[in-house]
Amino acid sequence: MAEHLASIFGTEKDRVNCPFYFKIGACRHGDRCSRLHTRPSISPTLLLSNMYQRPDMITTGVDPQAQAMDPRKIQEHFENFYEDLFEELSKYGEIESLNVCDNLADHMVGNVYVQFREEEHAANALRNLSGRFYAGRPIIVDFSPVTDFREATCRQYEENTCNRGGYCNFMHLKKISRELRRQLFGRSHRRHSRSRSRSHSPHRRRSFEDRRRHQYDDRDRQHDDRGRRPRSRSPGHRRGRSSPVGRKNRSPVREGSAERRAKIEQWNREREEAEQSNKPTTNNHGSNGSRQNGGHYHEQTHENHDEYYH
C-alpha cells in the first residue's frame, strides 16, 4: 500500500495531493482546492509570486496609454528586469536556473522561479528577501516544490502550438537572448567557482606545502647524490680492487718483473750469507730450511707488491 501511494504521489491518480501544485508550485484554485498543497520546509527552488510586471499587462502589445508597443521594447524591458533580479539573487548562492512565467492567469502571472545549486543558498535568499520591496511592491517569496522544469513547462508553447494562450495551466517561460544568458550564467559560475576554491583553500595550502616539502626533499637527495662519488663499474672494482687509473698520481712507478726477481734473489743471498756467518757449520737440513724460508719470503713479497700497487 505504501509503495502504491508513493508511486502515484503528485500525479492525477493522487486524490490527496494536488498534482498541479506539485508540478508547478501554483494552483488556479488556490486555498479552495480540494486537494492538499503541501509546502516544502526546504527546497533549492524559490517562488517569487507575481513579481514581474510586464508593460503590456492590461492588453498584450499595448501600453496603459493604449499605445502600441514595439516588441523589441517589451523584450528589452524584460531583459533589464531579468538581469537586475539575477544580480541580486546571485549574491546568496549559485543559480542553476531563473525562469519567469509569461502566463496571464492570476495564479501564474509574473511568477519567478529561481533554482539554486544548494538548498542552503535558497534558504539564505529566502531570509534576505522576506519583507523587502521591488518597484514599490512587496516581494512574496516561499519555497517551491518544483525541481524539474521540464515537467512544468508547456511543450506545445515551446512549439508555438498551444491553443490555450496565456491562460494555460502549464508554464509559458519567457526567453532571454543567448548573449545575455551566456553573460549572466558564465559570470555567476566563475564567481562561485572562485568562492568554492577559496573555501577549500586550507586543503589546497596543505597540499601545496606538501609539494614544497617533497620538492625540497628531492633537492636534498639530489645534492647528496652529487656529493657522493659515482661507483666505478670497472672489472677491477667489481673484484674488490680499485682501478690503477684513479691512483696513478699517488703510487710510485711500478718495476718490471725482471727487476723484482733480481731484487728478491739478492735479498735471499744476503739472508743466506747472514745465516752462514752466524752459524759457521751448516748441514743440509739447515740449507733446505733456508731455501724453504726463502721461497716463502719470495711468495709473501710478491703478495705485498700486488696489494700495494693495485
Gap between the Cα atoms of 143 and 42, Å rounded: 6
Q: Answer yes or no: pTM beyond 0.85.
A: no
Task: Kindly tell me if the per-residue pLDDT of 106 is higher than 80.
Answer: yes
Residue 217 vs residue 178, higher pLDDT = 178
Name the CATH superfamily, with its identifier, for domain 38-187.
RRM (RNA recognition motif) domain (3.30.70.330)
**pLDDT at residue 11, as a whole number:** 64
Query: With contact defined as beta carbons under 8 Å apart, do 171 and 101 qualify?
Result: yes
User: What phi, psi does 138 have (nearest 5°)?
Assistant: -70, 145
Task: Kindly tell me if the per-residue pLDDT of 179 is higher than 70.
Answer: yes
Tell me the average pLDDT of the chain. 75
C-alpha cell at 166: 496565456
> Could you tell me how far CA 22 lies from the centroid of its own chain?
37
**pLDDT at residue 185, as a whole number:** 87
Which one of 143-157, 249-263, 285-299 scores highest in mean pLDDT? Answer: 143-157
The identity of residue 8, as a single letter, is I
At 226-282, the pLDDT tens digits run 555 555 444 444 444 444 444 444 445 555 667 777 877 887 888 888 888 776 554
C-alpha cell at 278: 752466524
User: What phi, psi does 141 have (nearest 5°)?
Assistant: -125, 140
At 185-238, the pLDDT tens digits run 887 667 666 665 655 544 444 444 454 454 445 555 555 555 555 554 444 444
Burial class, 8, CB count within 10 angstroms (exposed 0-12 / middle 13-18 / buried 19+): middle
**pLDDT at residue 6, as a whole number:** 59
| Mean pLDDT of the region 10-37 | 83
Q: Where are the domains of the chain?
A: 38-187
Task: Kindly tell me if the per-residue pLDDT of 175 is higher than 90.
Answer: yes
